Amino acid sequence: MRLILRNLGFYLLAFWASITLNFVLPRFMPGDPVSRMFAQAQGTMQPDQIAQLRKLFGLDNRPLWEQYVSYVKSVFTGDLGISITRFPTPVSDVIGSQIGWTLLLGGVALVIAAVLGNLLGIVAAWRRGGVLDSAFPPLLIFVGSFPYFWLAMGALYLFGVSLGWFPMRHAYDVGLTPGFNGEFLSNVATHLVLPALTIVLVSIGGWMLGMRNTMIATTAEDYITMAEAKGLSPSRIMFRYAARNALLPSVTNFGMALGFVIGGALLTEVVFAYPGIGYQLLMAVQGLDYPLMQGIFLTITAAVLLANFLVDLVYVRLDPRVRVR
Amino acid sequence: MTAIDIATATTPTIPARTSRRRGLLRQLIDSKKALAGLILLALFALLALLAPVLAPGDPSLINSTGSQAPSAAHWLGATAKGQDVLALTLWGARSSLFVGFTVGLVATGVAILIGLASAYFGRIVDDALTLVTNIFLLLPGLPLLIILAAFLPPGTSTVILVLVVTGWAGSARVLRAQAKSIRGKDFVAAAVVTGERPLRIMFREILPNMASVVMTTLLGCVIFGIGAQAGLEFLGLGDSSVVSWGTNLYWASNDGALMTGTWWAFVPSGLCIALVAFALALVNYAVDEITNPRLRSRRARRERRG
């Protein structure tokens, strides 16, 4: 319990740090950001848009601490400002309408990669020197060396443009009304295959190698020898004795990997024009929509911190040693 | 902070004497994986250095009609704008490798400072530095990169700065753990008692004993630097006037290379990034295997014994 509270405090601190970073960045940016944006928008900005920006970037002549307090307050009440590219939609609405797609893509890819990678790692470590152990790791390191977005481009070109097996952009066909019917869901699934596949391909190697290495350490433990001496079946020893204990670091990695997967998903979304927040982030960058950029950063940070907290809860349940300390 | 401590199963054992460190280099060259990686790296470094000789003139010069497939005149074809892809790729190596290695070196430097200070001074310094490290480690990297790069003035130095800020934390954590275990050894206690200065103990007593860990973190940082730079530039957040592998991909995607089927515009640069990262990973893998005997294959172990 104490451990959970301590970690919760840490996550809150981390979140506070990212809010503060968000607050400080525009205020220390050289020059006047609002006039720069105004110049780049070439007169398409309305006066209330400018006023909104001035307020957000603290150019409203209030003392700094007062601005800070009101900024933190507005973040915690879910008010992230007004988007510039989609004026006058609030940033929280823009993010809310798209985060579902990112969660779907990232979640599916993360779960597939983690399950498959761990299984491969377990088998590779169990059969030291086998095909899986000697041929797979270098191959996966090689695939993992490609930038996410480049692999995505390659997959898009090969399977989308050249072969035409899979749709090339967006999460579902234009003209289809979203709903929980078979036609729509299968359409979403076919659109999901390529983006998810690229993320899985790049991230699976890390899982496999991590699992393999801990598993090798675990199989050297005395209780494995003991289990073998008792004459238990190899598969039972492999999964119930060795893998079960080697899985612990992988659980912690799961929370950490989320940040990487989200980063990868952002770029993958850009390539496939997948309507998640990553694609929105690119739109925001191109449209100099600073409030939206900051909002997306905060949302992703909050999501990653929350996921890590949940992993902590699971970990305490899984590893009794943590509870004693 | 237990739950966020990743058990690093690959933490290599410490090469205790200097003679073993010299052994590490020789073992690296003996290892097939490492040798392949080193040769690949040397090849790319050579290509980058010789870019002005191999492809003289401004690489972004338009010297043919657009979207030409690879031919005798343009070995790797031409982009939609009519630039020679081979020249762009060769010149791109310069910026990409420069940024990658600079980021790797600086980030590792920062990580060494933080890790050593944390391990040597302990107590409150350690707590504070570990807290900062963990926060940086937990904040999602790419979104952080993007907002930092979006707010700072564009340019190569911004890219480097931003990548260092987001890249040091992982290494600092690994180095701290390693330094902490060395801090507890008797020879460090002896150095403290003989009244050596903290800086000298940190850099002359502790650091040389963790050379292999520093090496793996350095390689990891370089891989991160090259990949993250490409990602950042692909999003259009780098300096799009600089020729690098990332900006090549950015322009390829902007000019619709995917939809028009001009695969030669985006394949070479991406392949180069992957090959360099792969070469670094190979060396890294080999260092891991050499310093962590458990990971060595059974065959190699038997040979060693026999």
* Total residues found in chain A within this entry: 325
Give Cα A256 to chain centroid, integer Å.
Answer: 9
- Closest of B273, B284, B285 to residue B97, by C-alpha: B273
Stronger pLDDT, A29 or B279, i.e. the higher one: B279
Answer yes or no: are the C-beta atoms of B229 and B238 closer than 8 Å.
yes
Give Cα A225 to chain centroid, integer Å.
Answer: 39
Lowest mean pLDDT among A28-32, A70-74, A138-142, B60-64: A28-32
SS3 sequence of chain A: CHHHHHHHHHHHHHHHHHHHHHHHHHHHCCCCHHHHHHHHHCCCCCHHHHHHHHHHCCCCCCCHHHHHHHHHHHHHCCCCCECCCCCCCEHHHHHHCCHHHHHHHHHHHHHHHHHHHHHHHHHHHHCCCCHHHHCHHHHHHHHHHCCHHHHHHHHHHHHHHHCCCCCCCCCCCCCCCCCCCHHHHHHHHHHHHHHHHHHHHHHHHHHHHHHHHHHHHHHCCHHHHHHHHCCCCHHHHHHHHHHHHHHHHHHHHHHHHHHHHHHHHHHHHHHHCCCCHHHHHHHHHHCCCHHHHHHHHHHHHHHHHHHHHHHHHHHHHHCHHHHHC
**Single-letter code of the amino acid located at B107:** A
**Peptide bond preceding A88 in cis form (omega within 30 of 0):** yes
pLDDT in the model for residue B15: 45
**Cα–Cα separations (whole angstroms), residue A47 to A56, A58, A84, A247, B89:** 14, 16, 12, 57, 46
Measure the CA–CA gap between A58 and A181, rounded to whole angstroms. 48
Farthest-apart Cα atoms in chain A, separation: 80
pLDDT at residue B293 tops 90: no
> Is A216 close to B295, i.e. CB distance below 8 A?
yes
**Six-digit token string for B173:** 């954590």
Measure the CA–CA gap between B113 and B253, rounded to whole angstroms. 40
- Closest of A13, A109, A26 to residue A67, by C-alpha: A26
> Is B143 close to A249, i.e. CB distance below 8 A?
no
Asked if the C-beta of B224 comes within 8 angstroms of chain A's C-beta atoms, the answer is: no
Nearest to A213 among B147, B282, B295 (CB): B295
**Single-letter code of the amino acid located at B265:** A
pTM: predicted TM-score of the whole model, two decimal places: 0.79
pLDDT in the model for residue A42: 58
Percent of chain A scoring above 90 in pLDDT: 1
In DSSP terms, B83 is beta-bridged to: B62
pLDDT tens digits, one per residue of A22-59: 888 777 766 555 666 666 655 566 666 667 666 666 56
> Is A297 close to B146, i.e. CB distance below 8 A?
yes
Helix (H, G, I), strand (E, B) or coil at B172: helix
Measure the CA–CA gap between A99 and A97, rounded to whole angstroms. 6
Interface test with B, best of A297, A310, A315 (most B CBs within 10 A): A297
- The nearest CA of chain A is from the CA of B196 a distance in Å of 36
Chain A positions in Cβ-Cβ contact with residue B153 (cut-off 8 Å):
30
CA angle A306-A248-B284, nearest 5°?
A: 95
Stronger pLDDT, B76 or B269, i.e. the higher one: B269
- The nearest CA of chain B is from the CA of A300 a distance in Å of 7
Mean of pLDDT values over A290-314: 85
pLDDT confidence bin for A68, thresholds 50/70/90? confident
- Beta-carbon neighbour count of residue B81 at 10 Å? 13
Tell me the residue ranges of DSSP E strands in B32-163.
none
Answer yes or no: are the C-beta atoms of B168 and B114 closer than 8 Å.
yes
Most confident of A12-16, A267-271, B52-56: A12-16
Mean of pLDDT values over A136-148: 78
pLDDT at residue B103 tops 90: yes
Residue of A nearest to B263 (CA): A157
pLDDT in the model for residue A37: 63
pLDDT confidence bin for A140, thresholds 50/70/90? confident
Measure the CA–CA gap between B73 and B87, rounded to whole angstroms. 12
pLDDT in the model for residue B241: 79
Answer yes or no: are the C-beta atoms of B50 and B229 closer than 8 Å.
no
Residue of B nearest to A32 (CA): B151
pLDDT in the model for residue B243: 86
Give Cα A284 to chain centroid, integer Å.
Answer: 18
**Single-letter code of the amino acid located at A154:** G
Chain B positions in Cβ-Cβ contact with residue A252 (cut-off 8 Å):
3-7
Lowest mean pLDDT among A81-85, B130-134, B194-198: A81-85
In DSSP terms, A90 is beta-bridged to: A82
In DSSP terms, B78 is beta-bridged to: B84
pLDDT in the model for residue B106: 95
